[in-house]
Structure 1
Amino acid sequence: MRKFLHLKVLLLMLLSISCSKKDEVLRKGTVSLSLNANSNVTVVHFRQASSINVSSFSINIFDNNDKLVKEFPSYKDFPDQFYLNQGTYKLVAQSSPVTTAAFSSPYYYGTTDFKVTDLKSTKIDLTCVIANIKASVKYTSDFIDIFGEVYTEIENKSGKLTFENGELKEGYFSPDPITIKLYKKATKKLLISRTFNDVKPKDFYRFTFEPSKATGGISVVVDETVIDKNVEFRIPEKWLEVNTPTVQGVGIDLAQEQEIVEGNTKQTVVKIKAEGGIKSLKVFVKSANLLNEGWPDAINFTQLSQSDIDFLLDKGISYPTVINGANEVEIDFSGFINSLEAGQGVEDIFSFGFDVEDNFYQRDATKSLNLKIIPAQFTVNLDEGDVWVAKATINVTITEGNKDFVTVFYQEKGKSVWLKSKSYTTLNNKDYTYLLTGLSSNKEYRVKAVYNKNSSSELTFKTEEERQLPNAKMEDWYYDVVAPSHWIGYAEIRKYIPNSRGQSNWSTVNEKTTEHRGSFRYNYNSLSGTYNSSDSYKGSNAAEIVTVGFGSGTTNAGGASIVKKRASGQLFIGSYSYSGGSESFNYGMPFTSRPTSFKGYYKYSPYGNDEFSVEIVIENRDNGTVTELAREQYISGSKQESYTQFSIPINYSNTTLKATHMYVVIKSSIKSLDTRVVNGKHLGSTLLVDELSLNYN
């Protein structure tokens, strides 16, 4: 049966008017209240609601600004009549609010708007209704016979109530989502858990548990009317044989944290078993770092959207295509593990919670996958010999971690921008080299290795200076007259020197080829084999290097000439001495840079099958020990009538030591010293060189 709770409010308007020229008209009405106890409640199957005592209901009246104008703690305190100014009001009547779940504790509430008008009375009928929700539980006798003693817990944010077998009282809860859980009494094993979200005031949930002859999962039937919601759990007898779903690791213990060095991967698979078939499978993301990166709070694997599918694919997490109804599935996190980062010098924990429910409403929501990500261990170092003019090789040793996550950053001193290099060469399974290119000559740099959020200690180095050979453009020359001309026709003998006066970097063998300085000295028996020429590639001068015949007793008689000595013209860095027919070469000059190539321009006119050579040598000299770092040579016998470039790549056989010295040797002949008479001189092959340069790319 249904009963109604009415608050009848009778407002009688009495007009009391007094007038004068300056008085305002004041209009008021008297208000009287008649409160009757009728209720509009839901049907209760197990007992009938008792009559409701409204004497304790509070009455409040508010104006149209929601300002409280009258307050009555209980209806019994309400006067027979009272006055209100004309206007619009709201009347609120309610029983004592119930904020905690309890048995037999309904909460009634009602409100209505009304007007106080001039010369009229207003009658207000207010119906108070239940403002919370009710719930009852019933177990059929057949259900108890099959499943034994059970009890049910119903819970929401207002609290939790327990319904034993035979409990006839209704529980009252706040109008918030409720969860019902059925337990086996002897073992306290959770048998069913179900949440109802669409909850409204006045709802009456009547839960009935009964057995079913079906062999499938539990069926839940909800009969919803405006007020009553009959929920029947039809549970097959086979349900007693179905184990609760389980969540476990494959080869890993979910009870333990999985320790993984950041950047590394590890086989991380979680297996979910559900004999009753999976109805719901959710994975909850519990890590703030992942949530800040855009991860959802939870992923429901039984209701994946296309965005969920794309997201999981991007993260490298794999799973079966069909999960709904499956008895066993595996979620593989292995492809995702190496993207997790440790903190700065500290470990970080990434946690995922699992909640699986089967078709019998059995759940396992107790398991978590906890990944402890440990910072990688790595160091950076460099050898002195690894720093060049425009490049440097940095060595990174990774004792724990993955090389693919290392980036080497470097910065020129005094600048704010850090440059980076990810190009590496593997030396072994722990040591890697990173090449820094495009560096500036003779500059200080800082360098560090970075692995996700962590950095190595910084190292500093200074690049080599981009030095060039002295007088590389062959512009600076002078000569000494070693024998003057004579009135009887002796020639002036000049010894040419390829330096500025006072400098001594370049040398020749002109001291030898001008050795005849006595009587009968002519240019066919005493001359310089290396001198400056105006036939240059650029500028005013080039070096002309010629194979010559010379020496006392050499004659100039055409094809019958006698040539006592012959020598290849030479131009080299170092010093030279000649005395009494004995010569001494001392190659080299101090030089602390290591070029990568040597270039220049030349013309060549070979005599016979001759060839010329250009050779460059880089050395390390240390307390009398000379270590050759590089030796390269350019040889050609082709005639070149116009200037042609030669380029010599310099490959270093030793890159550990720094350079201390270097030298260049250029020879006009390396195969034949043959000569012929040309303009009264015995000349062989002729080589011109100009615009020499060292390169440091």
Structure 2
Amino acid sequence: MNRQSRFLTYITIGLTLITSLTACNEDRVVLSNGSGFMTLGITCDPTAIAPDGSEIELFNPTDSQCSVSISDVDGIYSHTWESAADFPQIERYLEGTYDITVSYSSLEVEGIRSPCYMGTARVVVSSGETTRAAVTATLSNVPVRFITSDAFNSEFPSATLLLHTPGGSYIEVTSENQVAFMRPGNIAAYLSIALDNGKELVINPITIPAAKARYVYDLEFDYDKDSRVLSVEYNGAETQVRKSILIDEHIADSPSPTIMPIGFVPDSPISVTEGFYPSSGIGMDISTPSELSSLTLSINAPSLREASLPSETDLLNADSETLAKLSSAGLDIAGITPTGGLIEFNNLISSLVYRPGADNRSVFTIIATDIYGLSSAPVSLMVNTEEAKLDIQSVSRVEVGDPSVTLTIDAENISEQNCYAEISTDDGRHWEKTDILDITLNEEGLHEVAFAIPSGTATLSLRIVYCGQVRDTISIKRHSPAYSIEVDAFARVARIRIIPNDPELLSMITEYASIFISDTELPIISRDIENGYIMVMGLSSSTTYNFRSTIMTQPDENDFTSPVPATTEGTPSLPNCDFEDTKESIKYDDLPSGGRYSQNSVAIFNRQNFTTYHLSTPVKGWANTNAKTFCRGASNKNTWYMQPSVFSVTDAANGAYGVKLTSVGYDLNGPEIQPYLQESKPYTDYSKNIPEISHRAAGKLFLGEYSFNPESGEEVYKEGISFNARPLSLNGYYRFIPATNSRDERALIKVEVLGVHNGEETVLACKEYLLAFASGYTAFSVPIDYPVFGAKASSIRVMFSSSAKYGSIEQEDAGVALYFDPQTATATGNQLWVDNITLGY
């Protein structure tokens, strides 16, 4: 949140309050709206603590030379003024706690006349109050002075002191009038002197450990020419250390380690575009006559800090983990040993990254020290990292289904191997690298780059990553390809047909399309992606809707197809679907049951069994085949030849009645049944003679009409009733017991819906459904599918059959299974009970 938006919320309130205050008895304006005023007072303390404990005054910056930063502790608001003079002294802030920092220069800047001052304060802004924030900035770095005796100056008039903190530069101090300002911590002091023999000697006589900010440290050097002893001591207010070094013949005459720069001039920056290698090899060749004790690398490279590289490393004594980090960053130190070797920087330089608004100069410094304490002069490689230009100029239009997007990119000095793109489909929460498919250069000299994109309809985020840094991010909105829809409305569902302008996109559009009525998205039951159909639910019967479609996940109005009006069908039921309406249709008293038989083994045939039938069947549109199986026109009337195959029973799933269907044998011209003579005890109360029966039939109950001509033996089915809806299922309850001698038998349900298609009546849907053994009433559901799009129903056929081997008289004679039972004098097979039939919409 920027400063302006933080404050503007209250401008209107403030103006109203100020306008209404015609007179005030106090200097402050009292507020009561959750905000208050803040003023700032800055003091710079220019003093430092000298070695004797006294305070000495150094440079005192003015307020305008200091910067001010303010932020709230919640992390919502922050702002920086480069000059404290620009800080608004009467400004309104929301009540809360704020941290204020005042600074001059930076601790990262070391050198002569480079003091750094810093101060912080935490203030609480209260509602209706004016808060005074007072911040005192004090010296944050370490002043170091180079003090030499007359004897030292006489012997070494051109001596130079090099001061170094880990990861920092080597700061030259040449006179007592100079004060070097260094970072707190360990400060190594290297002395560079010229000996009588002309040798340039660099030694590290002393290191100031844990130097404290604001404390002055004097490094005092003396030399006794007679004893050739160089003495040095550092004095601070809290510490004093003295050391001596004998400049003997061995030190005076032994060559020091040397570092030869390769491909660059020390302290003269080279410029390299980020992601590229230098035009020539860059390195440092270390040589030494004596074995090295240390080889210290200092790194001051802001773009490498994220790699967690140490700011300073002794390459000869570092642990393997540290050396592996340096190697991974690109520094080639494989050839380094205590006897010297070559350090190559090319790979490391190519990993440097330009950072807008930051210091893009990197410094790599090496200093070598041998086992006798002789050091090389430090050699610094300075690299200015230049920005590689990479700007996205335009993005191609992307339609859903497109496998790629083309970006027009203005790119200069780009290393392709360091450039790639990442894509997010969830508003930048997760990113995945994507492939570059093609790169061409257009007439304007811009790069046309094609990137692979994932399938889907969501808006994409694409970002260009160069040298591991995100350079540009864009949003890619996918557009819907042109298509329209047609609607086939059922009662509570609808089938939508997708009609794309480009037939090649049919499957893709069907896969992603959503269906709406007004602004409400409908639940999807199924998708036929190959053929372009979508089945939706959530509709009410006999209702007109406007259907429209989109394939976009966050659509606007332009992403929808044109609305298509459609009216859903009604939800009619089948007539007498619970079979409660019945009519007595079979009444026959004393029908002979089997043949005559004797009472015992005497051939007197004076016994005859009879059966009486008073049976009802469902009415109101339901027909059956009893006219055939229980034909009163049979020439030999007997239960062997006359059997009812369909009748109502009180064994019901719901209500008073169900219907039982039985496979039976029948014969219109059954032969005479020979009398039966009992052979021996035990004697039976029925005839065991079983006649030949000509026909077999499945018990069938169906919607429509049925007639049978006993003289010709022909039957006529007029199946179906008028019906103006298309149910999706036929449901109900059944029991089924297969024939005693054929347990693998199945019963059957057949459903057909008819309608007019292309000017002719045709079957719109047909389903046969087999029923297996069920000792008690069991639910069934027969799904009904409609392959013909848009054709409306005109009639429906529903048939229940006790045998799956139904058909013509000849087909049933050949296929229906029967069991011949002389005790009941019947030939029967499968038994099917059905009840409570409903239609699902």
TM-score by length of 2: 0.39
TM-score by length of 1: 0.45
Q: Which has the higher contact order (CA 8 A, sep 6+)?
A: 1
